[in-house]
Amino acid sequence: MRVALAAICIVTLLAVAYLSMSLIVLRPPRANYPVWFALAAIFTAQGVLTLTVLGAGAVPVTVRYAALGGGGVLTAIGAWMIRDSLTSAHFEGYALVLGSMVVVQGALTLAAFLRRPTLKTA
């Protein structure tokens, strides 16, 4: 599960970078820049935090809980993005795909960090 979580984090970070750059370069008329860049910051921060926790051997429990809380936030934001994309008069495929990716990342984060870490004895 940790490999799948790391993979979806990397893919989400790449998608956020690609979509942010396309917004900056193409400047679509209906783009809501403040909302997008706030979401991009949340996705980036959570992805980096999750990858850091996955890569570190032992992390403080507060950092683990921060990653866990961020997973819940990502799941909620992703569900909102999917609902908004499906009910909007202007269908946005990228929002649907990114929302789905964020829901998967959030669910995997919750599943990976809800389990108590196993204690290894020598």
pLDDT in tens, 11-28: 999 999 999 999 999 999
Query: Residue 49: its pLDDT value, please?
Result: 95
Question: Which CA distances in Å does 108 have to 47, 86, 87, 105?
Answer: 12, 23, 26, 5
Burial string for 10-31 (b: 16+ CB within 10 Å, else e) reads eebbebbeebbeebeeeeeeee
121 vs 70, residue with greater confidence? 70
Residue 66 above 90 pLDDT?
yes
Residue 69 above 80 pLDDT?
yes
Question: Which CA distances in Å does 34 have to 16, 22, 58?
Answer: 14, 15, 36
pTM above 0.75, yes or no: yes
